Amino acid sequence: MQNILGSILPEFSTAEKQKLNKGLDFIGVNHYSSYYVQDCMFSECEPGRGTSKTEGYWAQSSQKNGIPIGEPIEQDGNSFYPQGMEKIVTYLKQRYHNIPMIITENGYADTKSNSTTKELVHDAARVTYLAGHLNALSTAIRKGADVRGYMIIAMDVCLKLYIAVFLLQIFSLPPSISCELLNLRQGFHNLSVFPSDFLFGTASSAYQYEGAYLSDGKGLNNWDVYSHKPGNKIIDGSTADIAVDHYHRYLEDIDLMHSLGVNGYRFSISWARILPKGRFGEINEAGIEFYNNLIDALLVKGIQPFITLTHIDLPQELEDRYRSWLSPKSQFLEPIIFGRYPPEMQNILGSALPEFSTTEKQKLNKGLDFIGINHYTGYYVQDCMFSACEPGPGTSKTEGFYAQSSQNNGIPIGEPTELVWLNVYPQGMEKIVTYLKEKYHNIPMIVTENGYGDKNTVDSTTEEPLQDVKRVEYMAAYLDALATAIRKGANVKGYFAWSSLDNFEWNSGFTVKFGLHHVDHKTLTRRPKLSATWYKNFLSEHSKVKDHQQQVEYGKTSHFYY
């Protein structure tokens, strides 16, 4: 400044110099976005803000070679560049002897004037912005910056409670702040719809969770063999030999479930652990003991075991002999409920369909206890029997002459995600439940799987995988849609989120994550994500509503005499 401005700069008096020597208590930092800056003293700049002598001979731009410094946001000229928070704090630390600093302003502005009320309070972009900047700030602190506080710029009524200084302790918590997510109220308005005996839980499967693939007498299953076979289709070349080591860590995992407040846990049986040689060998008592111990530990915590008899994996012995389980007959709801295959199947497949024996028909007449629904997303479906379809999954005769697509006229059915097959379409939850209610006489239903998957980013920061805002939004929307179906009369008895832990996802290996808890697959350390906190609060609120409902019912049936 002295070189550029010279005598233009004012002189400090002796008294002023004495005051300045006392230093200052802290440096206040107002930080929103970042820019590329160009020196205009020794290089040519386009005229603009900052380029004059008194402004310092500099020019700023949010782009370099046409590429934005970060994701552009609605506010003109600003970009989402959380790294800038760490950089400015680190610069001030090094330049000014690490004088204490306070972030006196930081925040995200949106400019939509024609938004709906739901859109206005559903501020996912603000969540992402605040999480990113707080994470960057915590990185600077971890590297030694003496930051004493953080303040969000003035907000609307919804967030005024949180206009505050967050002391350093805040950085031990997930740094995601938003009206809905801090209050964790998203989706809570429908809690009274879920019955008091409703099952809320998490789901898993033996092969994806247990590991211990040759421990305590377990035999090989079909996926043990497949995952070790050269040329398989597992993206990252991984196996579930260890998976998340649920076999040895089930007590820890049950504690995690209990901390969420779930009252159900869906898991499957590894028959290779109980019948290592299929039907032709001895029973492995160690396998039975494991599941007995697992079930007992669940019951101690008040969690109802919900057992899936088989979940894709089966003893290799059965695979070798029969290529599957013994019965070759397809399992559909129509035969179980109506004692026959659907007319459409009969018309298409005719004599190719197996016949039911008299004994089988008698068994089918007994019906079923409930319908289990695994639901993640929705598709558009096209009839391929009476219209031309491009060849693909489902279009053949034996598959039913149908084609599916997540787009219609180039428009996705719902918000795309990192997974090609998964679009966020919560309306699908209400539609599938309502369809089953009407088609099958409202037999009890349980949502046995529902969850949001994202990709495992190798170069992500330590805290980034924990900030799963999109998973929170997904769960809230789908549970809201489920509640709508229940309110309209659907007899739904439970909901199981997939899944409590990041786990082995079949041919995707460990490249895809569905967990409410992050698992470091090197150390197997479990850490709760934001979605775990949300689900915990959701269940806590449901428990309060349930208690209130029970008190009301008790009041209706109780008589007091004085």
| Contact predicate 521/527, CB 8 Å | no
DSSP 501: B
- Coarse DSSP helix, strand, coil percentages of the chain, rounded to the nearest 5 percent: 40, 15, 45
Integer Cα distance of 286 and 218 in angstroms? 8
Q: Which residues contact 34 (CB under 8 A, 6 or more apart)?
A: 69, 70, 79, 81, 83, 84, 87
d(CA 483, CA 481): 5
* Short-list 216, 190, 257, CA closest to 488: 190
Which is it for strands 411-412 and 199-203: parallel, antiparallel or unpaired?
unpaired
Closest by Cα among 466, 485, 435, 537 to 182: 537
Q: Dig out the tokens for 395 from the structure.
A: 């279009």
pLDDT of 168: 35
Question: Residue 555: what pLDDT?
Answer: 60
| Angle at the Cα of 505 from the Cα atoms of 410 and 446, rounded to 5 degrees | 80
**Among all residues, which ones are annotated catalytic?**
449
DSSP string, 206-253: HHHH---TTGGG---BHHHHHHHSTT---TT---SSSTT-HHHHHHHH
**Residue spans of beta strands (DSSP E) within 406-558:** 407-408, 411-412, 415-416, 423-424, 445-449, 454-455, 492-497, 512-513, 517-519, 526-528
Helices 530-557, 469-487: inter-axial angle, 10-degree rounding:
30
Distance between first and last Cα of the chain: 88
Q: What local confidence, expressed as pLDDT, does residue 346 receive?
A: 87
Residue 415 pairs in a beta bridge with 424
Nearest Cα residue to 222 out of 271, 182, 256, 269:
271
Measured torsion, CA atoms of residues 59, 65, 70, 74, in degrees rounded to the nearest 10: 80
Tokens 């440096």 correspond to what residue? 27
Query: What whole-number distance in Å separates Cα of residue 99 and Cα of residue 216?
Result: 59
User: Which pLDDT does position 551 carry in this prediction?
Assistant: 66
List the one residue out of 77, 176, 162 whose CA is nearest residue 129. 176
Report pLDDT for 347.
Answer: 86
Q: What Cα–Cα distance (Å) separates residue 158 from each residue in 75, 121, 181, 461, 474?
A: 20, 8, 12, 30, 21
d(CA 236, CA 74): 38
Q: How far apart are CA 458 and CA 470, in angstroms?
A: 19
The segments of the chain whose pLDDT lies below 50 read 155-180, 182-184, 558-562
**Cα(396)–Cα(406) distance, integer angstroms:** 19
